[in-house]
Structure 1
Amino acid sequence: MIIGIGSDLCNIERIQGSLDRFGDRFTNRVFTDVERAKAEKRPFTRAGTYAKRFAAKEAYSKAVGTGFKAGVFMRDIGVVNAPSGAPTLLLTGGAKRRLDAITPPGHAVDVHLTMTDDHPWAQAFVILFARPI
């Protein structure tokens, strides 16, 4: 059963502005080490790479129903790739605790994530699917 759905649309130029204005202060506050390493390997699409991940974090916060409060922080939501190469989320701290709190007893949650960008927009959708164990 679906226990959460979230989406977000992010302006790549706004993210570029934050990168220009705040640099490492911005990236260190918002993104995980894995996310920063991936974006920095992509000099021509760096802002778009960050923008998609920013949108994914926003979409997750909507899917769990809290936004960025109740202990859910951006750095606790990391975009990673599954062994298949598909994007998914690695959750820690408050983001993981919130997901655990909304997971029905006797279920595990599969996090489905899709991201796309077409300048100047980046978009992400998150579906949280609880399946019986």
Structure 2
Amino acid sequence: MIIGIGSDLTNMDRIANSLDRWGDRFEARCFTEVERAKAAKRPYTRVGTFAKRWAAKEAFVKAVGTGFRRGVYHIDIGVVNAPSGAPTLALANGAAARLAEITPSGHEVLIHLTLTDDHPWAQAFVVIEAQPL
């Protein structure tokens, strides 16, 4: 059963401006070490890499219905790759707690994520699925 759906469209120029203005402080506050390392390996598409991940975080908070409130922060939502290579989310702290709150008992959660970009836009869709154990 689907328990949450979220989408976001982010302007890459907005992310580039934040990176230029705040630099490492912005990165450390909003992106996990895994995300920062991936962006560092992509010097020509660094902004797009961050923008897609920003969109994924925004899409997730829409899917769980909180926005960035109730202890849910950007840094607690990280884009990682599943063994298949598909993107998914790794959650910590308030983000993980909120997902646990909306997960029906006796179910496990699968997070489906898709990312795309075409300058100046980055887009993400999140579908949260609960499957019976």
Q: TM-score range by the shorter chain?
A: over 0.9
Residue identity over aligned pairs, in percent, reads 71
1:124 equivalent to 2:119? Answer no
Aligned to 2:99: 99
Q: TM-score, length-normalised on structure 1?
A: 0.99
- Please list, as runs of the form range in 1=range in 2, the aligned pairs for 1:6-21 lying within 5 A after superposition: 6-21=6-21
Aligned to 1:71: 71
Instruction: For residue 125 of structure 2, give the secondary structure of its aligned residue in structure 1.
Output: strand
Structure 1 CA distance for aligned equivalents of residues 111 and 70 of structure 2? 20
Unaligned runs of 5+ in 2: none
For 1:15, the aligned partner's letter is I
For 1:118, the aligned partner's letter is D
For 2:14, the aligned partner's letter is R
- Please list, as runs of the form range in 1=range in 2, the aligned pairs for 1:47-86 lying within 5 A after superposition: 47-86=47-86
Q: How big is the shift at 1:60?
A: 0.2
Q: TM-score, length-normalised on structure 2?
A: 0.99
Aligned to 2:41: 41
Q: How big is the shift at 1:99?
A: 0.3
Number of aligned positions between the proteins: 133
Q: How big is the shift at 1:115?
A: 0.3
Q: How big is the shift at 1:131?
A: 0.4
Instruction: Give the RMSD, CA atoms, in angstroms.
Output: 0.4
Q: How big is the shift at 1:7?
A: 0.3
Instruction: For residue 117 of structure 2, give the secondary structure of its aligned residue in structure 1.
Output: strand
Deviations 1:64-119 (A, max 9, x none): 00000011111000000000000000000000000000000100010000000000
Instruction: Show structure 1 runs of 4+ deviating over 6 A.
Output: none
